[in-house]
């Protein structure tokens, strides 16, 4: 056991003659290691590097593959450029192939995300705030239902949802994808938990004392404090709707209403047939174009992932 750190006396310069010098001051002992400096772990660094490599290698291959022609993909399938840089030609062919059906799929996906993910975020914010800040009969039962809904995978509900929408005549229409996307049990639960801690009850009481109604209190007091949670739920629902494959596969038959996931899968199936190999480079390029909006959304919205917006707003 090392000996305790010695106490250091800090003496100021001597006082002028005829006066007593100032009393010595105690100075905090100097420790070898700062408490604020995080400990380093070689094992954790190696594991993090492996996870990063595992995540980036497919994306790097996708970027490099989109720069190659179909012959280039056949010649050099590895992680390096080919002699012919054909990225811009591939993008042009992707948007013009088969009368520009890729553009239709892209617009369909934007429609599904805008209405489905946007509506799911709005409903999750309203429901989570109400469950967190208002007490009403049946609140515990709603909590149990939400938790149970989070545990049920979406694929298990696809067939019952198809049968129900088939009875209503909504299959093979955009509503068959949009309406189920409006329900996000995980987003509701996340906003419930976030609103419980992010919106102090004292701020709401102060707004009510000042004469604000419940709607104004929500819009002017609670909504700004819920911004990080709203962005998080929006990204979760947007990614889930953008990458949704099984629900459109069950609901849609008309290729004109396909999202990007189904459209690229149909091109990939075409590339696997005899004589369809010429489409494979379009599948790679289309996959890269599909990923770019998600990356842009994360980069643009990450600045809103801030916590502690209510810090200091309530005085203890």
Could you list the pLDDT tens digit for every one of the 316 residues in the chain? 455 544 444 444 544 545 455 555 555 555 454 555 667 788 899 999 999 999 898 888 888 888 888 777 777 666 777 777 888 998 999 999 988 899 999 999 999 999 999 999 999 999 999 999 988 888 888 888 888 888 888 788 888 999 999 999 999 999 999 999 998 999 999 999 999 888 888 988 998 898 888 899 999 989 988 988 899 899 999 999 999 999 999 999 999 999 999 999 999 888 877 566 678 888 999 999 999 999 998 888 877 765 444 444 454 4
d(CA 269, CA 266): 5
Domain boundaries, the chain: 41-85, 86-304
Contacts of 290 (CB under 8 A, 6+ apart): 242, 260, 261, 264
The token pair that represents 102 in the structure block: 């890729």
- The phi and psi torsions of 275 (rounded to 5 degrees) equal 85, -5
- The phi and psi torsions of 26 (rounded to 5 degrees) equal -85, 130
Contacts of 202 (CB under 8 A, 6+ apart): 314
d(CA 293, CA 52): 21
Closest CA to 179 of 129, 117, 234: 117
Predicted local distance difference test score (pLDDT) of residue 137: 87
CATH of span 86-304: 1.10.3720.10
Residue with tokens 């209190």: 217
d(CA 155, CA 243): 13
Contacts of 258 (CB under 8 A, 6+ apart): 105, 108, 248, 252, 266
Predicted local distance difference test score (pLDDT) of residue 67: 86
Contacts of 306 (CB under 8 A, 6+ apart): 227, 228
Would you say 192 and 156 are in contact if contact means Cβ atoms under 8 Å apart?
A: no
């Amino acid at each position: 056991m090392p000996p305790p750190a010695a106490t250091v006396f800090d003496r100021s310069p001597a006082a002028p003659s005829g006066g007593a010098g100032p009393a010595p001051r105690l100075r905090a002992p100097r420790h070898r290691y700062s408490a604020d400096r995080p400990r380093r772990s070689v094992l954790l660094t190696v594991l993090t590097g492996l996870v990063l490599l595992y995540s980036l290698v497919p994306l790097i291959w996708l970027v490099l593959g989109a720069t190659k022609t179909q012959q280039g993909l056949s010649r050099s399938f590895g992680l390096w450029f080919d002699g012919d840089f054909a990225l811009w030609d591939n993008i042009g062919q992707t948007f013009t192939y088969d009368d520009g059906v890729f553009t239709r799929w892209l617009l369909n996906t934007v429609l599904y995300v805008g209405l489905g993910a946007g509506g799911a975020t709005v409903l999750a914010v309203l429901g989570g705030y109400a469950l967190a800040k208002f007490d009403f009969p049946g609140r515990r039962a709603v909590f149990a239902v939400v938790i149970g809904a989070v545990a049920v995978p979406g694929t298990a509900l696809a067939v019952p949802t198809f049968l129900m929408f088939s009875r209503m005549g909504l299959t093979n229409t955009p509503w068959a994808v949009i309406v189920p996307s409006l329900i996000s049990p995980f987003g509701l639960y996340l906003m419930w938990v976030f609103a419980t801690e992010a919106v102090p009850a004292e701020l709401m009481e102060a707004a009510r004392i000042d004469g604000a109604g419940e709607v104004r209190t929500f819009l002017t007091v609670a909504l700004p404090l819920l911004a990080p949670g709203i962005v998080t739920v929006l990204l979760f629902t947007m990614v889930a709707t953008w990458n949704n494959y099984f629900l459109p596969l069950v609901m849609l038959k008309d290729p004109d209403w396909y999202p990007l996931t189904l459209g690229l899968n149909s091109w990939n199936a075409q590339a696997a047939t005899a004589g369809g190999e010429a489409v494979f480079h379009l599948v790679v390029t289309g996959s890269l174009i599909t990923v770019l909006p998600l990356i842009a959304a994360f980069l643009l919205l990450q600045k809103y992932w801030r916590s502690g917006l209510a810090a200091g707003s309530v005085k203890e």
